Amino acid sequence: MSARRLRLPGPVHDPVVEATGIRVHRGGRPVLRDVSLQVRAGEVVAVVGPNGAGKSTLVGVLAGDLAPQAGSVALDGRPVGSWQPLELAMRRAVLPQETHVAFPFTVAEIVSMGRSPWVGTSRQRDDTSVVAAALEALDALSLADRRFPTLSGGERARVAMARVLAQDARLLLLDEPLAALDLHHQVLVLDRARRHAAAGGAVVAVIHDLSLAAAHADRMVLLAEGALAAAGTPAEVLDPELLSRVYRHRIDVLPHPLTGSPLVAATPATR
């Protein structure tokens, strides 16, 4: 998404979304425990951690789709629950882990659904160009006339991300955007996230590949058993002893030979 098309209020570095003391319980057990997080305009924040750590739940809370038992979330300086659904859709776009489509819509129609918050506004006139740009950004323009159910898993993932870009929201909340993608398209998605942030937006992405997260994120948030285990720059969070403890596996962290970015390697299991 280009800086020209992205129309974002507020200067870079202003807080976009802020969660304070979030607690969520499900089935009598804690899923999130006193988690606080601030995401500013101009940055990509990667949420990492093992399965069941609470990453998707945190995304749901930040999006305003899930109400916590305790704590608060502010979006653009207002409680997230105070925004009307349409106002919320204009300010944040959410990529869920899975995208289910019951009818054989074309890819172009699916991506066009991301434009629904702008119906009846002056920005509706940009719909055609925005949809085309979003498809092109995700290497999916050639899929525009295909029926969504006929796509492969990776193609569906790219189309779902294109819909999120087309929504033209300041805050992108991406729950495992790299799932089902090959390496080239994983890097492509993270590059689009970086460009969105550079244009004044903000991105929160749940990512399992720690090395890819380190290469593209400004900050990382490590969750473990629903609690905040670490937060900071990739170099600060990707401590081998901490990772080994959280993931319950021997993990080494080495510098990338070209960029110096942390590379995370798990020791093979003993045969």
The verdict on residue 1 lying in a domain is no
- The reported pLDDT for the residue numbered 101 is 83
The strand pairing partners of 7, in sequence order, are none
Portion of the chain with pLDDT greater than 70, in percent: 95
The verdict on residue 8 lying in a domain is no
Query: CA-CA distance, 257 to 6, in Å (whole number)?
Result: 35
The count of structural domains within the chain is: 1
What single string gives the DSSP state of each residue in 225-244?
A: TTEEEEEE-HHHH--HHHHH
- The reported pLDDT for the residue numbered 98 is 84
pLDDT at 107 over 70: yes
The verdict on residue 4 lying in a domain is no
CB atoms within 10 A of CB 265: 13
- The reported pLDDT for the residue numbered 10 is 53
Question: pLDDT tens for residues 178-215?
Answer: 999 999 999 999 999 999 999 999 999 999 999 999 99
The verdict on residue 7 lying in a domain is no
Mean pLDDT of all residues in 13-30: 93
- The reported pLDDT for the residue numbered 268 is 85
The alpha carbons of the chain give a radius of gyration, in whole angstroms, of 19
Portion of the chain with pLDDT greater than 90, in percent: 90
The verdict on residue 235 lying in a domain is yes
Query: CA-CA distance, 268 to 253, in Å (whole number)?
Result: 14
Question: pLDDT tens for residues 135-181?
Answer: 999 999 999 999 999 999 999 999 999 999 999 999 999 999 999 99
What pTM was estimated for this model as a whole? 0.93
The answer to whether the CB of 174 falls within 8 A of the CB of 194 is no
What single string gives the DSSP state of each residue in 202-226?
A: EEEEE-S-HHHHHHH-SEEEEEETT
What is the domain extent for residue 29? 15-266
Helix (H) or strand (E) holding 159, with range, is helix 153-166
HSE value, Cβ hemisphere, 13 Å, CA-based, for 201: 30
Residue 267 vs residue 4, higher pLDDT: 267
The answer to whether the CB of 166 falls within 8 A of the CB of 131 is yes
The verdict on residue 10 lying in a domain is no
The verdict on residue 6 lying in a domain is no
The verdict on residue 83 lying in a domain is yes
pLDDT at 8 over 60: no
At 252, phi and psi to the nearest 5?
Answer: -115, 150
Q: Residue 247: give its domain's CATH number.
A: 3.40.50.300
pLDDT at 57 over 60: yes
Residue 248 vs residue 7, higher pLDDT: 248
pLDDT at 27 over 90: no
